[in-house]
Structure 1
Amino acid sequence: MSVRPAPEPLPMIESLDDLADLVMRQPDVYLRYSEGPETDRREPASCDYEADLVMPGLSVSAIAPEAWWPRPAQDWIARRIRQYAQLHEPGRFPWVLTGRVVGHGPDHEPLVTDVRPIARLGDRTLAEAAERYRAKFWVGRDSTTGTRP
């Protein structure tokens, strides 16, 4: 397992549109919330804390829209960013990478090795994702909530 050194400093993606352009050009881009590539380079595998097991790669989120998705890529990407926003806490940040999928974790998330860091997500990108998510989705609605509010 490996994480390649990140470019110094790690480039910043400053808009949701820029991130969507990257994802549409290179659909094997993944999102990760962590202390960053250098920390992940020292510990290149995630842990399943519930089972107390080291997994065979880093836990990431796929952010490329599925082929069946009829809406703009920005909608899908904003939703994926917001699904794990609680992981953005002091010392941790969202960044994008490519890598080789070697399996899936207990939450069906891809596990990757041979990680190549690409960029961090800037504050503006995160704000645009949050705004788009609130504007375009029924946030929190699921199969148990019934009809639209």
Structure 2
Amino acid sequence: MDSAHPMVVFTTLHSLAELVTRRRGLYVRWSHGPEPDLATLSSRDELTGVPLPGLSANALDVEDWWGDRSVRTWVARRLYDYSHLPHVKDARTRPWALQGTEVGRGPDNEPLVRQVEPLGWIDRSVINQANDVINHQPGPWGPMHRHGSD
């Protein structure tokens, strides 16, 4: 990522959902950003320290079983699941959208991607919009927050 050419910023859940309807191979990554990530193209398993053969990410592509349900709700769910990361990892952790090629699965069954094309930062306002969508769903839902000592 060339720091002289900053990434676009997605400021609405709608704009991100539109992207998901137009392209495939999309992921969200929660990290310090493309610049440090593209320098290594590798993540590390936090439990064992083992280097992984790609960047850990979460798929944004809508699965066939979702049918004709709202893409906006799908994307909201994908963002909501990991929205706790800036609070438990590092305040500099931010979500960004990318297109990539899955090369394997990590220890939590998360996709590992390479051939990464950064597409844009996902603004905090989009996370807030995603939270609103999820909070209006009929079932109990919570982010995938894991505590080691609980």
Q: Tell me the TM-score normalised to structure 1 length.
A: 0.85
Once the two structures are TM-superposed, the CA of residue 7 in structure 1 deviates from its matched residue by 7.1
Contact in 2 for aligned 1:100/1:113 (Cα 8 Å): yes
Which sections of structure 2, spanning at least 5 residues, go unmatched? 143-150
Check conservation: 1:104, 1:110, Cα contact below 8 A.
Answer: yes
Aligned with 2:7 (options 6, 10, 16): 10
Task: Return closer, same or farther for 1:5/1:98 CA change in 2, 3 Å cut-off.
Answer: farther
Q: How many residues are aligned here?
A: 138
Separation in 2, partners of 1:52, 1:83:
23
1:79 correspondence with 2:66: no
In the alignment, which residue of structure 1 is the partner of 2:18?
21
8 Å CA contact 1:5–1:117 kept in 2: the answer is no
CA displacement at 1:106 relative to structure 2: 1.1
Task: Return the alpha-carbon distance in structure 1 between the equivalents of residues 2 and 104 of structure 2.
Answer: 23
Once the two structures are superposed, the pairs formed by residues 1-149 of structure 1 within 5 Å of their partners are 5=2, 8-70=5-67, 71-89=69-87, 90-140=91-141
Q: CA deviation at 1:8?
A: 2.2
Structure 1 unaligned runs (5+)?
A: 142-149
CA distance in 2, matches of 1:6, 1:76: 31
Whether the 8 Å contact between 1:75 and 1:133 is mirrored in structure 2 is: yes
> In the alignment, what sits opposite 2:146?
none
Paired AA for residue 131 in structure 1: D
Sequence identity (%):
34
Contact 2:26 2:61 in 1 (8 A): yes
Amino acid corresponding to residue 50 of structure 1 in structure 2: L
Secondary structure of the residue aligned to 1:22 is helix
* 39 and 100 in structure 1: CA distance in 2 versus 1, 3 angstrom threshold: same
Cα-Cα RMSD: 1.7
Structure 2 CA distance for aligned equivalents of residues 7 and 134 of structure 1 = 38
Describe the superposition over 1:4-57 as per-residue Cα deviations: whole angstroms up to 9, x where unpaired.
Answer: 547721100111111011011002110000000011123320111222210100
Q: Is the 8 A contact 1:45 1:55 kept in 2?
A: yes
